[in-house]
Each structure stands twice: as structure tokens, then as C-alpha cells.
Amino acid sequence: MVDIWLPYGKTEVCVRIPTENILGVIEPNEKTGVKELQAEIENALMNPINTKRLTETVKPRNKVAIVLKDSDASTNQMMISAILKELNSAGAKDEDLTVIIAYDPLPPFTSKGEERLLLSEELSSRIRIIHHNCETGEHIQVGKTSRGTKVYLNKTFGEAKVKILAGVIEPHIYAGYSGGRDGVLPGISNVETVQRNLLLSLHPKAKKGSLEDNPVHEDMVEAAQLAEVSFTLNVVRNSRLEVVRAFAGDVNKAFDEGVKLVEEMYKAPTERRADVVFLSPGGSPFDITLFEACKGIDSALEVTRIDGVIVLVAECVNGYGKSEFYEFMSRFKDPNALEKALKKSFSIGGLMAYRLMRALQRVKISLVSVMPDYYASEVFRMKTARTANEALRYAFDAIGKRGKVSVIPYGNLTMPIIKSNEER
């Protein structure tokens, strides 16, 4: 027997797999965080990729807009502090700077009533900070993408002389990767622009770790070009939220270099597809709700044979999460009908329900969580198990005692790839 421990909430659970059944553990190749974060970010700003330094671009009295993708407070703080230092050294005044907190359809999870610290009081008192509202804010049109998306942007950003994006590059469930161009779309776009772009997430190429022919990504790139972004600063982090490296410069070139590092860390090769895949999203906060936990299912699908079993090991201490996720799973039994409904009125909860339904057409899914059985089995159509070992017994009953098992301990970040060209 091989004992494998999987992250589960703020603890771990063990699954015991017979040695002859185990294919392997599919894990990321994470790197350690830099010791001197400020020095790393400042070095990136001083050596931008394929563009001039901000000190060579900004002139005194220029209006500057900085889009900040909501992340953890320490990363936010360090990026904005470093950018302000660079701008101030070029003669830019604090009163001419605006930080725009970007809109995110899939924001970092917070418990009900929890306040997120975005920037310190010292920085908040120095510069103007606004939260972009995609529905009620003032917007200006800057053009239309080749897919027909009319690009309406935050007026403050559109009228700025210098336009900067700051964020984090990491795997994203439908854009391929976050970062770079997503500071514009969806970050500072209006609701019409965002909805048009999100509809493209129904396309089969719109998935984690995929940029080639990904219509969501390509639409975002065009929107950023129309926005005439001046400069970007992105960081790559490990699962402990430690910054591994910073990338600054041209909105596309800096993003591409960051993606290379993310792929090096999180694309994990494996020899073949398994009959059973144990998937942990990575513990809290990745498994705090079923909605959050389901972001990792696409990763498991890549390495599970058709009609195989995925065992989702996710605590879900806050239940199923988004109410619309529950509502769409309750209302629709057929993903094709749901797809038609989403094309008329899109919602993120509906998208996650659609992806889960599509997955359930290909594989069986078993859930190990603290959620009541009714919700897990009747609404979300998963077989429930009290322990990981019980789920393994159920899986062997379904596919046979000789079934091969793979394990993904950090599913919301890991991007498994098959080395061979085997058929599913």
C-alpha cells in the first residue's frame, strides 16, 4: 500500500492505494519565492521587456492610471509602491496618479463580511484610488475587436496619458492564464464588453493553460491593443503566494515571458490517462466552497479516461458557494439547454454549472467533503463518500479492482499533460 496525503481545508486526508494500482502523483514543479521582493520588482521595472522604462515615458503633469488586479495585500502593496517610486523619480506627482481596482468575474474568495485590505493607509492617503464598476461607471468606446466585441473602457483610464497594468500571472480556467491583458478586459471594461467576452468561454479551446486558438485570450489581447496600454508589471507566485519573479514592460511580451515560467512550474507531464484520479484543489482557500473546488476539475479531466472516476477531495466548509451555481444545476439537466440559456443571459455561476455538467457526461465524479449529501448528490450529481478510502472502494466497484490511479494534490494550479498521443 502507498499512503498519499491530500490537502483538505486547513489540514490533510490520507488515501491508501495498492502499490500495483498507482500510476503516480502529478505535482507542480514549484519554485521558492525571492528573498528580496522589493529588489526583484524594482529590477523588473528598471529592465523592462521590449519597451522603455517608465522614467523615460512619463513627463511631469502627465495623468497616469494604474490598473491593479485585486490580489493579496502584500503583493498589491509592493507592486504599487515600486511603480510610484519609478513614477515619482520621473517627476510625476501623486495628485496626477490614479489607481483603479479592476473588476474580476472570479475574484479571490472572501468569507461573508470579511474586509479585504488592498493597499496600506499610507498609500491610500497619498493617491486617488477608485474601484471600477462595470455597470454604473463612466466609460468610453475605443473600438471593436475582430470577434465583434465593442470595447468600452473606464473613462479615467481611457483619458490618461500613461496607462499601466499590474497583476498576477497564474493558470485561469477559461482565459488560459490571468495577467497582462486581463487588466483591460475584463478589468476596466463595461458590462456589455465583459459579457460579450465571457460568452467566448463556452468554446472548447477556452481552458486552463491554453492560449493557442483560445477566443477569450485573443479577444482580451485585441482589447488591450485598442486601449493603448503603456506598460505592465506582472508577478508570478507559487502556491504559498510567494513572488517567484517579476516581469515588466510591453503588455504582450512581458506576459509571454511570465507565462513561460508559470508553465515551467505548473505543467506536469504524466505517461498516460488513469481510470481513477484523486483531485484535491489544494486545500483552503481553493476548496472553501464547491464552486471554488470545481475550478480544478478540468485539470483532472485531462488525465482521466472516458467513463473513469474523478474523486474530488474538497472540504467545502462554506457549502456550494455561489447561489446561481446551485440554481443552474437545479434548473438544468442538459448542458446544451444551459448553453443556450447562457448565450441569452451569461453568468459565471452558470458557466461553472455548464462545465460541471459537461464533465459529468464524460466521467463519474465522487465527492469527499463536509457538504450535506442532498446537495452533493441530488443537485450537483456527485456520489458522496465520507472518506477518501471509501471513495476509492466505490471507484474500484465502478471500474474494477485493477484500475490505475493517479493523484493530483494541487488541482487548481496544476496543469497535467499526457506525454504520449494516446487516445482517450
| Structural domain boundaries in the chain | 2-28+267-418, 37-237
Are 405 and 389 in contact by the 8 Å Cβ rule? The answer is: no
- 75 vs 233: CA distance, rounded Å: 12
Over residues 138-154, the pLDDT tens digits come to 999 999 999 999 999 99
- Rounded average pLDDT over 93-101: 95
CATH topology classification for 2-28+267-418: 2-enoyl-CoA Hydratase; Chain A, domain 1 (3.90.226)
The SS3 of residue 32 is coil
DSSP for 111-133 reads -TTPPP--S-HHHHHHSEEEE--
SS3 category, 373 = helix
All three cell numbers of 299: 485539470
Q: Are strands 2-8 and 11-17 parallel, antiparallel or unpaired?
A: antiparallel
Per residue in 174-189, pLDDT tens? Answer: 999 999 999 999 999 9
pLDDT of 424 reads 47
405-408 and 274-279 beta bridge pairing: parallel
pLDDT of residue 4: 97
Tell me phi and psi for residue 197, to 5 degrees: -70, -40
What pLDDT does 115 receive?
43
pLDDT for the residue 69: 86
Which DSSP helix (H) or strand (E) runs through 6? strand 2-8
Convert 172-212 into a string of H (helix), E (strand) and C (coil).
ECCCEECCHHHHCCCCCECHHHHHHHHHHHHCCCCCCCCCC
Kindly state the average pLDDT of the residues 213-219.
Answer: 98
- Grid coordinates 496544476 are at which residue? 414
Would the pLDDT of 339 be above 90?
yes
Task: Answer whether residue 207 shows pLDDT above 50.
Answer: yes
Q: DSSP letter at 65? A: E
Percent of the chain past pLDDT 70, that is, above it, reads 96
pTM, to two decimals:
0.92
Quick one: average pLDDT of 303-313?
97
Q: What is the architecture of the domain spanning 37-237?
A: 3-Layer(aba) Sandwich (3.40)
> What whole-number distance in Å separates Cα of residue 381 and Cα of residue 326?
11
For 94, which DSSP code? Answer: G
Q: Please give the average per-residue pLDDT across 231-238, as a whole number.
A: 96
Instruction: Band the pLDDT of 109: cuts 50, 70, 90.
Output: low
Range 337-352 average pLDDT: 95
Q: Give the integer Cα–Cα distance in Å for 390 and 407.
A: 16
- DSSP result, 41-61: HHHHHHS-BSS--HHHH--TT
Q: Which amino acid is at 113?
A: G
Cα–chain-centroid distance for residue 107?
A: 9
